[in-house]
């Protein structure tokens, strides 16, 4: 179990290195305090998983370093029971001059494994890392992805009660990332606790039962993954009211509202809880009004399943369509496609923003603007999330 109560952490900032010496010699304050974490509280029980998300500089990595003991808090409590293994900073506890094998042995002992435990698990660690003969090479010859393989394999085989993972997984190749995700899910199913920090919101929604949102060192949201991710998207849009109050909550959306979505329909229908069959052709229409001149205007949509997983999304930027509408312009945008997705419930979110993504400027974002359900199949049935429409040939001899 992990319990964090009233946790605070700040760092001293000096204008120049010599100020540290003058502060000691003359007992005069030469620094300013930068508060990184303020009054952090949460509890993580056995078998639970908590995601931590937030913009850069929110304090996510500092929080994990406090939990695994790399840093000490200014005040507050961190109560733990059982072994905690962390993948916080890539290469922490490793010596670049030693071989991969020597580093595994040293790091395993640092994680609290006994010599007998290490001997019994060494083959499993090396098999999971899949480094082959490179395990005998010095760590300084490894790529960052190879170091991540070694660090993850060692940490996860230490059988911790709580596993702490920062963005280190992002440096691995897609094959090993998927392998790590499967291992983490297996760890959770056996009652292990997970504290997971990532900018990959899909991974957070997949792995975590609850999500904590940090901003400027404070907890600003603590809820289910879908709600927390929606809050995070709203947070990084840096909402600024800029039009009349009557337009501020257009269909429960948010953004600067320099352009607004006035209507969303599928096959001419604006009702929620629409029903379609898999493979059915649909026309998604989005009506937009511009309240200002807008450069690099982007229009997009995202389909999510009932678990909040992104199924498909696209926008005019990805389609290489340049738009720069003028103030007062009205836009009718049509997307035509076949709903080649599996049976189940889905949501459709739509967004207007500037530049490649909504972090430049979110103009208007509507989460779950429409809800619809796939109730059956048009044509042949299939298993899974999507219809890939393969062709095949059978030869019998």
Which pLDDT score, from 0 to 100, does residue 381 have?
83
Tally of CA atoms within 13 A in the half-sphere of 363 that contains its CB: 25
Q: At 150, is the secondary structure helix, strand, or coil?
A: helix
> What does the pLDDT look like over 215-232, one tens digit per residue?
999 999 999 998 898 888
Write out the CATH class of domain 2-227.
Answer: alpha beta
Please check whether residue 198 is in contact with residue 191, taking contact to mean a CB–CB distance below 8 angstroms.
Answer: no
Residue 172: pLDDT band (50, 70, 90) is low
As a whole number of angstroms, the distance between CA 366 and CA 252 comes to 7
Q: State pTM to two decimals.
A: 0.69
β 281-290/259-266 pair status: antiparallel
The arithmetic mean of pLDDT across residues 342-357, rounded, is 90
Please check whether residue 58 is in contact with residue 215, taking contact to mean a CB–CB distance below 8 angstroms.
Answer: yes
> What does the pLDDT look like over 276-303, one tens digit per residue?
999 999 999 999 999 999 999 999 999 9
β 31-44/2-14 pair status: antiparallel
Which pLDDT score, from 0 to 100, does residue 181 have?
85
DSSP of 209-249, one letter per residue?
Answer: SEEEEEETTEEEEEE-HHHHHHHHHHHHTT----S-GGGTT
As a whole number of angstroms, the distance between CA 216 and CA 55 comes to 8
Residue 170 has pLDDT above 90, yes or no: no
The arithmetic mean of pLDDT across residues 73-101, rounded, is 88
Ordered by start, the domain boundaries in the chain are 2-227, 237-377
> How high is the mean pLDDT of the chain?
88
Same fold, 2-227 and 237-377: no
CATH number of 237-377: 2.70.50.60
* Residue pointed to by tokens 């200014």: 74
């Amino acid at each position: 179990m992990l319990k964090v109560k009233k946790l605070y952490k700040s760092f001293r900032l000096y204008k120049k290195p010599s100020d540290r010496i003058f502060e000691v010699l003359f007992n005069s304050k030469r620094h300013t305090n930068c508060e990184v974490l303020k009054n952090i509280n949460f509890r993580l029980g056995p078998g639970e998983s908590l995601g931590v998300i937030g913009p850069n500089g929110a304090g996510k990595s500092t929080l994990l370093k406090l939990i695994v003991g790399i840093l000490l808090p200014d005040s507050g409590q961190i109560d733990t029971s059982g072994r905690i293994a962390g993948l916080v900073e890539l290469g922490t506890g490793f010596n670049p001059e030693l071989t991969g094998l020597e580093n595994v042995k040293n790091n395993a002992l640092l994680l609290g494994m006994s010599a007998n435990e290490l001997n019994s698990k060494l083959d499993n660690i090396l098999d999971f890392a899949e480094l082959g003969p490179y395990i005998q090479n010095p760590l300084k010859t490894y790529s960052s992805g190879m170091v991540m393989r070694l660090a993850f394999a060692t940490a996860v085989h230490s059988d911790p009660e709580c596993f702490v993972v920062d963005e280190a997984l992002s440096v691995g190749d897609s094959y090993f990332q998927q392998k790590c995700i499967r291992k983490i899910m297996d760890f959770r199913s056996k009652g292990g606790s997970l504290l997971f920090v990532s900018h990959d919101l899909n991974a957070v929604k997949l792995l975590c039962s609850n999500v904590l949102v940090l901003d400027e060192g404070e907890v600003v949201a603590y809820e289910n993954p879908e709600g927390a991710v929606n809050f995070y998207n709203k947070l990084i849009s840096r909402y600024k009211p800029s039009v009349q109050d009557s337009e501020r909550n257009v269909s429960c959306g948010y953004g600067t509202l320099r352009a607004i979505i006035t209507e969303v329909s599928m096959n001419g229908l604006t009702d929620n809880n629409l029903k379609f069959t898999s493979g059915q052709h649909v026309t998604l229409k989005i009506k937009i009004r511009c309240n200002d001149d807008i450069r690099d205007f982007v229009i997009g949509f995202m389909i999510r399943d009932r678990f909040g997983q992104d199924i498909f999304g696209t926008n005019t930027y990805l389609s290489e369509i340049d738009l720069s509408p003028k103030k007062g312009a009205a836009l009718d945008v049509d997307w035509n496609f076949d709903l080649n997705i599996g049976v189940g419930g889905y949501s459709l979110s739509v967004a207007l923003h500037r530049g490649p993504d909504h972090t430049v400027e979110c103009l208007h974002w509507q989460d779950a603007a429409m809800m619809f359900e796939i109730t059956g199949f048009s044509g042949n049935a299939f298993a899974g999330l999507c219809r890939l429409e393969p062709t095949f040939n059978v030869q019998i001899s």
